[in-house]
Structure 1
């Protein structure tokens, strides 16, 4: 195991640890009955994380960069195992990064600034309001030609709850992607170890055969 694999393992392990901490607040919202208290606690946690000092954000993004550097350095070897195992690991890792940038960050921003309409229209709230508008059209409450103003009001309590749940679900997906990265890295290590053991066995067998052949030649010469 080289320093490149170490970069990947340190990065994924650290980020997974952060997500495990977040899961203490996510799982009650996703998989059990919850009340306003659980929502308030989860909201407070995410706001404190989002509004944390710059050093915290720099550490998290630095760990993301460390993982990318490690995977790209491993993939640069372009061996058969690197193409398959490190290539898939890079795809999974980039999927997690894309989920973070496209889903988590916009929703965290709208939680921190619920009155910002520009942020609201770039978050999952826009999708929710579009779904509500379509449901109203289907129910006959409004006509299909009616132009619905999606930025007509600030973030409501129901939308805030849905936004927190979207973040929680995104964390679960990212954690699953990181688990896939660790699985492929462990599989690569096991395969390289198996190949190394097999090569050592072949080399030992060749050395024994060479030694036996040399011994027979020496005996013939002495005769």
Structure 2
């Protein structure tokens, strides 16, 4: 295993460590009967992480960059194996970064500033509110004129705060699966390279033995003459 693969493995291992910590707060919201205490604990954790020292986010982004740098260095070889395995690993890693930047960060920002109208109107909460208003119009509880005049940028409710936390938890689970794909691709590439190297060594040994036998028989003939 070279240093480039080491960059990728170290990066993924660090990210898995972060996700393991978040899973302590995520899993109760996704897979168990949770209560207000679980919601409050998850919100405190994410807000503490978000409002923490700049060194925390710098370390996280630096480790993400390390993984990208390692994969780009491996992909630069442009062998058939690099194109398939390192290319797939890079796609999976970029997918996890897309989840982080497109889902996780906006929801954490929304939790940290729940009355920010601009953040709310750019989040999935707006879609939920629009669907709720549409359902009330369809049920006849509200006219279309009333629906058009209903503001969408009001502060988060308790249910919407809970929904944002569950979206965060689900996003972290998806990132875990994407990073597992990166590990699988790298392990498969290492195993295939090792198998090819062993096969090449065995072939070279057979050729050396054949050359040795051929040289021995040739010297025997020359002595007999």
TM-score by length of 2: 0.96
Looking at structure 1, the residues matched to 204 and 55 of structure 2 have their Cα atoms a distance apart, in angstroms, of 52
**Is the CA contact (8 Å cut-off) linking 1:129 and 1:150 kept in structure 2?**
no
Query: Shift of the alpha carbon at 1:107?
Result: 0.4
1:118 alignment partner in structure 2:
118
CA RMSD of aligned residues (A): 1.2
Residues 7 and 149 of structure 1, relative CA distance in 2, 3 Å threshold = farther
What secondary structure is seen at the aligned counterpart in 2 of 1:20?
helix
Corresponding residue pairs, total:
223
1:202 alignment partner in structure 2:
203
Give unpaired runs (5+ residues) of structure 2.
Answer: none
1:217 alignment partner in structure 2:
218
2:128 alignment partner in structure 1:
128
Residues 149 and 209 of structure 1, relative CA distance in 2, 3 Å threshold = farther
Looking at structure 2, the residues matched to 47 and 23 of structure 1 have their Cα atoms a distance apart, in angstroms, of 15
2:76 alignment partner in structure 1:
76
Query: Shift of the alpha carbon at 1:150?
Result: 4.9
Query: Shift of the alpha carbon at 1:143?
Result: 3.9
Looking at structure 1, the residues matched to 123 and 11 of structure 2 have their Cα atoms a distance apart, in angstroms, of 27
Looking at structure 2, the residues matched to 21 and 117 of structure 1 have their Cα atoms a distance apart, in angstroms, of 31
Query: Shift of the alpha carbon at 1:73?
Result: 0.6
Looking at structure 2, the residues matched to 26 and 66 of structure 1 have their Cα atoms a distance apart, in angstroms, of 26
**Is the CA contact (8 Å cut-off) linking 2:121 and 2:153 kept in structure 1?**
no
Query: Shift of the alpha carbon at 1:50?
Result: 0.6
**Is the CA contact (8 Å cut-off) linking 2:129 and 2:152 kept in structure 1?**
no
1:183 alignment partner in structure 2:
184
What secondary structure is seen at the aligned counterpart in 2 of 1:64?
helix
Query: Shift of the alpha carbon at 1:151?
Result: 2.6
Query: Structure 1 residue 166 and structure 2 residue 167: aligned?
Result: yes
1:35 alignment partner in structure 2:
35
**Is the CA contact (8 Å cut-off) linking 2:96 and 2:175 kept in structure 1?**
yes
**For structure 1, which segment, 115-124 or 58-67, has the greater mean C-alpha deviation from structure 2 after superposition?**
115-124
Runs of 4+ aligned structure 1 residues displaced above 6 Å come to none
Residues 164 and 43 of structure 1, relative CA distance in 2, 3 Å threshold = same
1:142 alignment partner in structure 2:
142
